[in-house]
Structure 1
Amino acid sequence: MTFNLNTESESPDRTTLHLHGRLDAQTFNDFDSAMLDVLPRVAAGGTVVLDLSALEYISSAGLRSIAMIRRSMRARGGHTLLLNLQPQVRKVFDIVKAVPLHEVFANAQELDSYLDHMQRQITGDGAVDSA
């Protein structure tokens, strides 16, 4: 199986990347090359969301690529969050403790609730927009 990447920009401060297939020794270079294009377009302090719902396999090479994204975003005051991990992929992250649990979300609703909570902490606004 191959690797495929789709990018979805929801706002200048948040980009979602949908990873499909296998992120391994044969495909990580393609992913890394794509990140050289994508990451500079994410605003400083922004968030990269990696939707892994269609990622079937990840190797140590793939973990290294994700670690590079996390380092790059952190250096710019930003965040990298993981979404919709398949059980076998989640197990790899659990084994190597590659990503703190507060950066892993089961679904988009859980992620949006977290992001809403974080923004309300900054603004001090207790109201939730129901739109």
Structure 2
Amino acid sequence: MTFSLRSDATSPMRSTLHLQGRLDALTFGEFDEAAARELQHLEEGSTLVLDLSLLEYISSAGLRSVAKIRKTMRARNGYTLLLNPQPQVGKVFEIVKAVPVNEVFKSMDELDEYLDHIQRKMLGGGEEID
């Protein structure tokens, strides 16, 4: 299977990239280009969600792509969150500790609860979330 990507830009503060297939040495360039275009439309402090529910495989090249996105988003005071990785893909992230556990979500509802929590905490003057 090859790689495909679909984008849902819900606002300048939040966008979701839906990854499907294999993110590997043959497809990471396509992903990097599409992600760079998407990041241009996101504002400072925004959130990029990577929906991995249809991603069947990720290689070290794909991990580098995700790390690059996370670095870019952090530099812009933003967040990169992973949504619903398939077990084999989640295991890769777990093994290499590429993404903190609090940035991986099993469902859109769980992600929305987390985002709601962050916003309530910020409005309430609580401590900042990393």
**Do these two structures clear the TM 0.5 threshold for a shared fold by scoring above it?**
yes
Q: Which amino acid aligns with 2:88?
A: Q
Q: Note the aligned Cα RMSD (angstroms).
A: 1.0
Measure, in 2, the Cα distance between the counterparts of 1:96 and 1:110. 23
Residue by residue over 1:79-126, the C-alpha shift from the partner in whole angstroms, topping out at 9 and shown as x without a partner, is 00000100000010011000000100011010000000100011129x
Measure, in 2, the Cα distance between the counterparts of 1:58 and 1:6. 17
Measure, in 2, the Cα distance between the counterparts of 1:123 and 1:98. 30
Q: Quick one: percent identity of the two aligned structures?
A: 63
Measure, in 2, the Cα distance between the counterparts of 1:11 and 1:32. 21
**2:12 is matched with which residue?**
12
Report the CA distance between 1:52 and its aligned residue: 0.2
The aligned length equals 125
**2:66 is matched with which residue?**
66
Unaligned runs of at least 5 residues, structure 2: 126-130
Q: Secondary structure at the match of 2:77?
A: coil
Q: Which has the larger displacement, 66-75 or 36-45?
A: 36-45
Q: Is 1:112 matched with 2:112?
A: yes
Query: 4+ residue stretches of structure 1 with deviation over 4 A?
Result: none
Residue by residue over 1:45-90, the C-alpha shift from the partner in whole angstroms, topping out at 9 and shown as x without a partner, is 0000000000000000000000000000000000000001000000
Q: Is 1:40 matched with 2:40?
A: yes
Q: Secondary structure at the match of 1:94?
A: helix
Q: Secondary structure at the match of 1:19?
A: strand
Measure, in 1, the Cα distance between the counterparts of 2:11 and 2:26. 32
Q: TM-score, normalised by structure 1?
A: 0.93
Q: TM-score, normalised by structure 2?
A: 0.94
Measure, in 1, the Cα distance between the counterparts of 2:35 and 2:11. 17
Measure, in 2, the Cα distance between the counterparts of 1:25 and 1:102. 27
Unaligned runs of at least 5 residues, structure 1: 126-131
